[in-house]
Amino acid sequence: MRTALGEPDARAAVTFLGADRIEVLRFREGDVVRYATLGMSAHPMTDPAAMVADPVRGPRAELVLSVRAGVADTDKVLRPLAVLAASPQVEGVVVVPGAALDVGGPLWPGAPFTSVLVAEPGGLVADLELDAPLEPVRFLPLLPMTPNEAAWKRVHGAQALRERWLTHGTDLRDPARRSVPLD
């Protein structure tokens, strides 16, 4: 992460019962602040339907959220991000691109977003290759969604929502943006 994002200027750690410690690092780059999890990839994600969890094989990931700095109190996103990063250990969730992850409340105080869309890896932070047989760590961007966008995504799919954002020129880094028109 340091190669792609530089040195973090802040970090926080959260520990959940039954899960390893998750850290959230904050990186500033101009008018953008990025929050990245650290610790989610310590164990491979395992399909909850699997009879036995493989301690070596399986996808590994960390989460990255990018927002415009100074528009909202986004530093309060640390705990919700840690909750999302702990979900593979705690709930057996396999986090993949196109998935929606809900935090059950605003991502930060006053945020119009209660969930995120998991985007494709490989843009901002390159995959981290690990020694075989371990799969690489993928750095998955998170795109905040309003409750209406999340509901629309459930019906029409992630690709349709991404196309709608693109068509309307939606600034997905704006922490105070409104929902994209969904009619």
What is the C-alpha to C-alpha distance for residues 147 and 68, in angstroms, rounded to an integer? Answer: 20
Average pLDDT for residues 113-133, to the nearest whole number?
Answer: 93
pLDDT band at 116 (very low <50, low <70, confident <90, very high): very high
Residue 78 lies in a domain: yes
Contact in structure between 150 and 182 (CB atoms under 8 Å): no
Average pLDDT for residues 30-43, to the nearest whole number?
Answer: 95
What pLDDT, on a 0 to 100 scale, did the predictor assign at position 76?
92
Residue type present at position 32: V
Contact in structure between 106 and 113 (CB atoms under 8 Å): yes
**CB-count exposure of residue 49 (10 Å: 0-12, 13-18, 19+):** exposed
pLDDT band at 129 (very low <50, low <70, confident <90, very high): very high
Residue type present at position 126: A
Contact in structure between 177 and 170 (CB atoms under 8 Å): yes
Per-position DSSP letters for 6-73, written without gaps between them: ---SEEEEE--TTS--EEEEEEEETTEEEEEEESGGGS----TT-SS--SS-S-EEEEEEEEETTSS-
What's the structural domain count of the chain?
A: 1
What is the C-alpha to C-alpha distance for residues 175 and 74, in angstroms, rounded to an integer? Answer: 8
Contact in structure between 163 and 181 (CB atoms under 8 Å): no
Token pair belonging to 138: 């993928």
Residue 40 lies in a domain: yes
In tens, the pLDDT along 148-176 reads 999 999 999 999 999 999 999 999 999 99
**Domain limits at 146?**
2-167
What is the C-alpha to C-alpha distance for residues 138 and 133, in angstroms, rounded to an integer? Answer: 15
Residue 178 lies in a domain: no
In tens, the pLDDT along 44-94 reads 998 777 777 777 888 999 999 999 998 899 999 999 999 999 999 888 889
Across the chain, what does the average pLDDT equal? Answer: 92
What is the C-alpha to C-alpha distance for residues 94 and 70, in angstroms, rounded to an integer? Answer: 33
What pLDDT, on a 0 to 100 scale, did the predictor assign at position 183?
80
| Closest C-alpha to 128, from 65, 55, 66, 59 | 59
Three-class SS of residue 122?
Answer: coil
Residue 35 lies in a domain: yes
Residue 118 lies in a domain: yes
In tens, the pLDDT along 92-105 reads 889 999 999 999 99
What pLDDT, on a 0 to 100 scale, did the predictor assign at position 16?
80
Residue 175 lies in a domain: no
Residue 76 lies in a domain: yes
**Helices 147-156, 158-167: crossing angle, 10 deg rounding:** 120
Residue 118 pLDDT > 80: yes
